[in-house]
Structure formats: structure tokens, C-alpha cells
Amino acid sequence: MLPLEGLRVVALEQAVAGPFCSRQLVDLGADVIKVERPGEGDLARGYDGALGGVSAYFAWLNRGKRSVVLDLKSPDGAATLEKLLAGADVFVHNLLPGAVERLGFGWDTVRARFPRLIWVSISGYGLSGSYAHKKAYDMLIQAEAGVIALTGSVEEAAKVGISVADIASGLYAHSSILAALLIRGRTGRGERIEISMFEALTEWMMPPMYSLIGQGHAPGRAGLRHNMIVPYGAYQCADGQVMFAVQNEREWVNFCADVLERPDLTNDERFAANAQRLAHRAQLEDIIEAAFACLSRDEVSARLEQAGLASARVNSVQDVVDHPQLRERQRWTQVQTPAGTIPALLPPHNLGSEPPRMGRVPALGEHTAEVLAELEGAP
């Protein structure tokens, strides 16, 4: 029995943040009823048709859920949502600012009607403050939170290549729901959870913000190099790049002796500790790439391995699809979609006693009749 089996979640969600949260719950056994608008449904359904007509984002985020189409602007649709919430444990929503309140399902209203319900809002900036009503999407939050200021090359900024603000807020919502379930187990009362995408990313921005607060300057963009630790990143060899990390002074000594074959550098005051190496990074990185210039990636990787230093390949997306670690750990499985079977990675919860639920990706409104029939039969 999966840990969340018997838990009923109503998800009034779209795009990434809300669906990512509720998909973690369905993977762990919850019954997630996904409420979608008539016609187009979740806007992520229309992002692309990468998987035989099914959107890549939608397939990733919505397996195992039950899709119910409701016109929430109609009295019948609103009444049906009311009935769904009456039998639910968790209500997750990430519509535009103020939309849930205008529909009549804000926290104060819902708490009065359903005192055990856990009410979860995911928004761009939170439900108060002067930014509360701003529309927000992932790249915009990356910009507002300063992530883009730290990402990219020295010459040009870049966004993170995945939906990091959506994923961060979805994960905080998921973990907060688990905490709220524990609280309800003690008190019998539901909980108001308010997750802000902006706050999720600014929490992750604390090291560079502390650098600014403590030293008067923030780290800059460093491309495929770390902007606060040196050496850490991708360095040029004779036939391409190798990526590695030196995390402490013991590793620095090993790196100088066994990789660069320059033990004398450990006595160089310019590189005595990470703060000095960061201040003199240009000189140090010139030394490193001069030493690597006549060595292949395989030769450098072998030296790094011998020295006990962490390293990695700079993989393409195809390299990741074909990655031996995913194959050897049997991480790939299959799920069903309206367009047929697609591959899917097992979620990283990795509970030892129970495999996750890898349910079907639903067609729009596929479960409307089924769920409505359940409501009719409910006491």
C-alpha cells in the first residue's frame, strides 16, 4: 500500500508548478482529480505535440491523475467543485492571482465549509504585497529573483534551461502538504499553505546574497565555471572539455600533485585557500588549461579519478537518455497516454517497500463521468 493511498486531492491547476506538486502526490498513491476547463483544458496540453500529439510537459506532469472537465463559471460547475472539496483532503491550485477567490473558493470560505481541508496556493509572488496580483511564469521569476544575473557567460546572461522556479515551488508545496497532513493528524484541522515561486527561488539565492551582504559584492556569471569556488567547472583539454570540482584544501593538494603534477602550487600564496583562488582565478585557470592542453579528456579524467576528485561529462540530452546509470539502475519504465505508450523515468522518491504508481496520462475529461457518478453515490 502506497503511503498516500486513500488521500483525495483536488487540483485546480495548469502549466507546471501545480501539476508538478500534485504529480508527486499521485506517484505516492493519492487520488488526484485534475479539474480542467472545457475546450482546451490545462494550457500545457497545447505546448507541443512531441509524443504523438501529447505535449511533453503534460505527459511528464500529469500521469496517474483523473481528468474532470468543469465550467467553474457556471452554477453547476461551481456546485460540483464544492462537492469534490467536501470529500477531499487537499485542494491544490495555481491559477492566475485572485481567480480562486473570485470563484468562491478562497481560504476563509473553504475553511468555514471544510475545516479538515488542506488549502494550497501556488502563485508567483504570494497572496500579499504589492506584487501579489502580477502574472508570473518561470523565466520571469528567474529574472526577478536574480537567477539570470548569475547564469550564463561573462558576456551574456541566460536562463536556466529547465523550469526551475516552477519545480522549486512545486516541491515546496509537496513537502508542505506532507507536513500539513502530520499537523492535521494531531489537531484534526486543515491548513492554509501559501507557496510563492519568487520566495522559492530567493531561498535558493541565499549564498550569493550572503556574499553581497557580507563582502559588498555579488558573484558574477562564470559560464561553465562555478562563480564562488575555484577550480570547479569545465576546463579545456586537447580534445574537448572535462568538468571537475575541488571542494576543500585536501582535494586541492591532491589536484596539484596528481592532476597538474605541480605540487609547488600548494605553496603559492595566490592559491592558498578558496578565497585566494577565487581572487586570482584568471591566473590559476590559465595554469590549469596550459597543463591540460596536451592531454586528452580521458587522460585528465583518469588523473582526476586517481586523485579521488569528482568529475563529470558535459552530456547532451541524447547522452542522458542513453545514460548507463539510468539503465543499470532500471530507472526507465513505460506509461500509457491517449497516443500510446511512452517511456518515463521512475520518480526519485525510491521508497524501499513500495514502487511508485505510474498511471496513465489522461485525455481531457476522460474521467468526468466516472467522478460525477462517484459524487452521485456519495453519502
Tell me the pLDDT tens digit for each residue of 320-361.
999 999 999 999 999 999 999 999 999 999 998 889 999 999
Q: How confident is the model at residue 313 (pLDDT cuts 50, 70, 90)?
A: confident
Q: Which residue has the cell 487520488?
A: 31
- Looking at residue 377, its pLDDT comes to 78
Please report, as a single letter, which amino acid is at residue 131.
Y
- Looking at residue 379, its pLDDT comes to 64
Architecture per CATH, domain 232-313, reads as 2-Layer Sandwich (3.30)
Where in the chain is CATH 3.30.1540.10? Answer: 232-313
- Looking at residue 132, its pLDDT comes to 94
Average per-residue pLDDT for the chain: 95
Where in the chain is CATH 3.40.50.10540? Answer: 8-204+324-377
Tell me the pLDDT tens digit for each residue of 236-258.
999 989 999 999 999 999 999 99
- Looking at residue 302, its pLDDT comes to 95
Is there a catalytic annotation at residue 226? Answer: yes
Catalytic hit among 93, 174, 217, 226: 226
Q: What is the pTM of this model?
A: 0.91
Backbone φ and ψ of 310, nearest 5°:
-75, 140
**3.40.50.2000, 3.40.50.1820, 3.40.50.10540, 2.40.50.140: CATH of 8-204+324-377:** 3.40.50.10540
Q: Number of C-alpha atoms within 13 angstroms, CB side, residue 244?
A: 30
Q: How confident is the model at residue 101 (pLDDT cuts 50, 70, 90)?
A: very high
Q: How far is CA 306 from CA 70, 258, 265, in A?
A: 61, 8, 19
- Looking at residue 352, its pLDDT comes to 86
The whole-angstrom separation of Cα 137 and Cα 96 is 10
